[in-house]
């Protein structure tokens, strides 16, 4: 299917917008209505997350998700796929053909696709120093250069998917903004990107990650009419056990995981502690009608399987109680339910792959 046919078919699909339209009097300064979204559940599909070619998106991923009853695919994107840190303003539209394919596969299988900039010009939670200018810190003129480039890239994406309805595609502004003492800069960045997207698609459904790598709500965006995305990897002593890319100061303990577990400060982590950090933290938003979605979560392959399952059972039950959807990182791979490489799992042979049936059944129940 050509991109022209793909967009034409998408635009023609019958759809009820998920984002209430602002009134004619809305000049962009008035509060926008809060969007209403389904309880989307699914997975992150990471083929375009790292900036290197990992092969095309697989139709089987969408088939499996839909067959199991999932309806959401978050697609982390690195702008390195279609541009370069050496020339931020140069874009290669042909590099987005694989992404067109993912959106079309989502349409065919009834799976919503959320396009998320995992690496944006000037920032990535992994290796931000590889960017020529920084989006969140540095001299004002260099931060503005990064923001101008980020605006350029989001306009590029917004124009490409302008004709695709909200039931099929949403946008996630940038992945896991850094820890911050003050949210002013993040709000400034987010509002600039939102304005750019809405100048092309006024009613596009938009997600914004929480501050502090997705852990903290951003009240400065409450009037923008967004979904705020929480990334729930707390406590990292469970979710990222022996994960070498996580800074040591983010771990609550280095002891062998159990669930529940007492950390190095004597704090008991159990279901009630998760309720505090995963649910109550976001109450200032939800009390005002803003929707929350768990954009990423999961347990590293080296965390004992029994501990993963016990922790996950508490987490998904809390999200179900709150009415929140989620997307696990990932479907296939070390955090997922397929080909996760765990040494302590009795895998089920599944269409040439290794399926963690226990984990699948647990998350389906949540």
One domain for residues 264 and 144: no
- Residue 9 domain-assigned (yes or no): no
* Nearest alpha-carbon partner for 41 in 289, 354, 323: 323
Q: What is the pLDDT of residue 18?
A: 57
* DSSP H/E element including 13: none
One domain for residues 266 and 125: no
Q: What is the pLDDT of residue 51?
A: 77
DSSP state of 332: B
Q: What is the pLDDT of residue 29?
A: 60
Report how far residue 37's alpha carbon sits from residue 57's, in angstroms, rounded to the nearest whole number.
Answer: 25
One domain for residues 75 and 187: yes
Pairing of strands 123-124, 169-172: unpaired
Report how far residue 98's alpha carbon sits from residue 105's, in angstroms, rounded to the nearest whole number.
Answer: 11
What secondary structure does DSSP assign to 181-196, as a single string? Answer: S--HHHHHHHHHHHHH
- Residue 204 domain-assigned (yes or no): yes
- Residue 280 domain-assigned (yes or no): yes
* Lookup result for tokens 């995963």: 278
Q: What is the pLDDT of residue 207?
A: 98
User: How many structural domains comprise the chain?
Assistant: 2
Q: Are 7 and 164 in contact (CB under 8 A)?
A: yes
Q: What is the pLDDT of residue 21?
A: 46
- Residue 240 domain-assigned (yes or no): yes
What secondary structure does DSSP assign to 71-129, as a single string? Answer: -EEEEEEEGGGT-BTTBTT---GGGGHHHHHHHHHHHHHT-EEEEEEEEETTEESS-GG
Q: What is the pLDDT of residue 241?
A: 98
* End residue of a domain, out of 209, 231, 253: 231
Q: Output the CA–CA distances (angstroms, integers) from residue 79 to 52, 119, 152, 364, in the order listed.
A: 10, 6, 11, 33
b/e map 12-40, b = 16+ CB within 10 Å: eeeeeebbeebeeeeeeeeebebbebeeb
One domain for residues 338 and 273: yes
One domain for residues 110 and 164: yes
Report how far residue 312's alpha carbon sits from residue 288's, in angstroms, rounded to the nearest whole number.
Answer: 28
Report how far residue 337's alpha carbon sits from residue 333's, in angstroms, rounded to the nearest whole number.
Answer: 8
Q: What is the pLDDT of residue 53?
A: 73
Domain span holding position 363: 233-290+301-322+331-366
Q: What is the pLDDT of residue 242?
A: 96
One domain for residues 76 and 193: yes
* Lookup result for tokens 């290794």: 354
CATH code assigned at 218: 3.20.20.80
One domain for residues 148 and 281: no
One domain for residues 226 and 258: no
Strand pairing partners for 116? Answer: 76, 172
Contacts of residues 187-195 at CB distance under 8 Å and 24 or more positions apart, as own/partner, are 187/218, 187/220, 187/221, 189/135, 189/136, 189/147, 189/150, 190/218, 190/221, 190/224, 191/221, 191/224, 192/147, 192/150, 192/151, 193/150, 193/151, 193/154, 194/224, 194/226, 195/28
Q: Are 209 and 295 in contact (CB under 8 A)?
A: yes
One domain for residues 145 and 220: yes
Q: What is the pLDDT of residue 120?
A: 98
CA atoms within 13 A on the CB side of 26: 16
Kindly calculate the radius of gyration of the chain based on its CA atoms and give it in whole angstroms.
Answer: 20
- Residue 3 domain-assigned (yes or no): no
Q: Output the CA–CA distances (angstroms, integers) from residue 58 to 55, 62, 65, 104, 106, in the order listed.
A: 9, 7, 11, 12, 11
Q: Residue 28 in 3-state DSSP? A: coil
Q: What is the pLDDT of residue 9?
A: 40
* Tokens representing residue 209 in the block: 């990650």
Per-residue pLDDT of the chain (366 residues; tens, 9 = 90+): 333 333 344 333 333 345 444 433 344 468 999 999 999 999 999 999 987 778 899 999 999 999 999 999 999 999 999 999 999 999 999 999 999 999 999 999 999 999 999 999 999 999 999 999 999 999 999 999 999 999 999 999 999 999 999 999 999 999 999 999 999 999 999 999 999 999 999 999 999 999 999 999 999 999 999 999 999 999 999 999 999 999 999 999 999 999 999 999 999 999 999 999 999 999 999 999 999 999 999 999 999 999 999 999 999 999 999 999 999 999 999 999 999 999 999 999 999 999 999 999 999 999
One domain for residues 336 and 248: yes
Q: What is the pLDDT of residue 54?
A: 80
One domain for residues 127 and 222: yes
């Amino acid at each position: 299917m050509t991109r022209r046919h793909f967009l034409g078919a998408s635009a023609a699909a019958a759809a009820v917008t998920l984002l209430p339209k602002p009134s004619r009097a809305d000049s962009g300064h008035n509060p926008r209505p809060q969007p209403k979204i389904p309880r989307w559940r699914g997975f992150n599909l990471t083929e375009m997350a790292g900036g290197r070619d990992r092969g095309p998106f697989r139709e089987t991923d969408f088939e499996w998700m839909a067959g199991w009853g999932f309806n959401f695919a978050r697609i982390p994107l690195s702008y390195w796929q279609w541009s370069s840190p050496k020339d931020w303003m140069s874009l290669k539209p042909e590099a987005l053909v694989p992404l067109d394919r993912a959106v079309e596969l989502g349409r065919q299988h009834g799976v919503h696709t959320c396009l998320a900039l995992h690496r944006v010009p000037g920032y990535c939670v992994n290796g931000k120093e590889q960017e020529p200018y920084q989006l969140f810190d540095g001299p004002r003129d260099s931060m503005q250069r990064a923001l101008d480039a980020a605006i350029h890239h989001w306009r590029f994406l917004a124009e490409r998917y302008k004709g695709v309805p909200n039931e099929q595609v949403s946008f996630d502004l940038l992945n896991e903004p850094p820890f911050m003492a003050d949210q002013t800069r993040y709000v400034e960045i987010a509002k600039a990107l939102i304005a750019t997207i809405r100048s092309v698609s006024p009613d596009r459904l938009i997600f914004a990650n929480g501050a502090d790598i997705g852990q903290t709500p951003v009240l400065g965006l409450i009037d923008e009419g967004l979904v705020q995305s929480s990334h729930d990897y707390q406590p990292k002593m469970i979710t990222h056990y022996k994960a070498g890319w996580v800074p040591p100061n983010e771990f609550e303990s280095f002891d062998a995981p159990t669930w529940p577990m007492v950390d190095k400060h004597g704090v008991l982590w159990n279901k009630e502690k998760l309720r505090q950090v995963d649910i109550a933290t976001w109450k200032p938003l939800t009390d005002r009608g803003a929707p929350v979605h768990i954009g990423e979560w999961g347990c590293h392959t080296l965390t004992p399987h029994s501990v993963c399952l016990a922790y996950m059972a508490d987490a998904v039950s809390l999200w179900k109680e709150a009415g929140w959807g989620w997307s696990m990182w990932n479907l296939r791979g070390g955090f997922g339910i397929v080909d996760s490489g765990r040494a302590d799992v009795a895998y089920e042979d599944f269409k040439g792959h290794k399926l963690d049936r226990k984990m699948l059944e647990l998350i389906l129940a949540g």
